[in-house]
Amino acid sequence: MPSEPAGGDAAIAPEILGQAAEWLLRLHDNDSAGVRRACDQWCAQHPEHARAWQRAQRLQALLGQVPAAAALPVLGRPHGARRRTAIKHLGAWLALAPGAWLAWHLLHPAADNPTLRTAIGERRRARLPDGSRIVLDAGTRLSLHLDARQRTLDLHQGQVLVETTTDTHMPPRPFAVQTSQGRITALGTRFNVRVDTGYTHAALLEGALAIQAGTGPAWRMVAGEQARFDGHGNHLLEALDDTVTSWTTGMRVADAMPLAALLAHLGRYRHGRLRCDPAIATLPVSGAFPLDDTERSLAMLEATYPVRVRRAPGGWWVLIEPR
């Protein structure tokens, strides 16, 4: 491992340290070639990324077998006595929380609302402190509010599949997902939520949901329904699309999906810009498209539909245009 770049003793932004923490945990859970390549790409994006990662690796080496996430509180401190003092407290910090939540609590021990996020091309499964389970799509960011009165996920961007569990807290706390457009309260459910520009999409697989969209009247969904709503109380309710959770398996199954919508999802699994000519944005496409191999998905589109994939030099910009 190369030495830390110039300026290595300077403070590093907490957000970058959080990202370094997540990469440590990903590699701890899955030290595959693909994850290592993705980490290398993140390090190459900015000198501060490389500096945070190299500092994390150096401190991990000093700590021997102590889990990598426990080192994060001191990654943001310059060398010296304060760092040595912080290292002495690692043993107590290790018991705070498992998995992805450990990195957050150790990095921000005073934070009340832990944040979980996924990178480009990454899906993640997590178990929340109350026992509920979630799956995050690529490019997702959410915050958890867990206290004596509520269990709330603030979904800032992306998509999440939620499976709630009975709350053992007394009195039981409602479980809800909050987006910019409204609040979705679970009534013993398994459901999918996606945020797009100006809209929230909710799909209900099991149980029931109570939805408050903006200032409009509250309404309910039952299993087998899905809805799109905005922040003004407008909503469209329809039958559940059985393919809505196919992304959790690494495939995006499309059934007459507008081309632009499919490309928007594929775009969360590749670096660069993926766009289509407005003339074919609504072209209905069907098939099973691999999310983890977007080049293959683009080749499938080109082979099946009257479209052409055009790449700018370097491959960063990709345009799908009529053929």
Specify the 3-state DSSP secondary structure of 3. coil
Write down the pLDDT at residue 134.
93
The pLDDT tens digits for 151-210 are 999 999 999 999 998 888 788 889 999 999 999 999 989 999 999 989 999 999 999 999
Residue that the structure tokens 């480009």 belong to? 120
In the chain, what percentage of residues exceed pLDDT 90?
51
Write down the pLDDT at residue 283.
97
Among the listed residues 1, 18, 8, the one whose alpha carbon sits nearest the alpha carbon of residue 72: 18
The pLDDT tens digits for 87-138 are 333 333 322 333 444 444 434 444 456 788 899 999 998 888 788 999 999 9
Give per-residue burial for 108-137: e unless 16+ CB within 10 Å, then b.
Answer: beeeeebebbbbebbbbebebebebebbbb
Residue that the structure tokens 């909503």 belong to? 235
What average pLDDT does the structure give for the chain? 80
The pLDDT tens digits for 263-276 are 999 999 999 999 99
Q: How confident is the model at residue 150 (pLDDT cuts 50, 70, 90)?
A: confident
Q: How confident is the model at residue 147 (pLDDT cuts 50, 70, 90)?
A: confident
- What does the block give as tokens for 17? 């340290």
As separate numbers, helices (DSSP H) first and strands (DSSP E) second, the chain gives 9, 16
Report the distance separating Cα 317 and Cα 132, nearest Å: 39
Among the listed residues 149, 96, 94, 115, the one whose alpha carbon sits nearest the alpha carbon of residue 17: 115
- What does the block give as tokens for 222? 């039952």
Q: Quick check: 130 and 167 in contact, CB under 8 A?
A: yes
Q: Quick check: 196 and 205 in contact, CB under 8 A?
A: no
- The alpha helices in 162-272, defined as continuous H runs, are 259-266
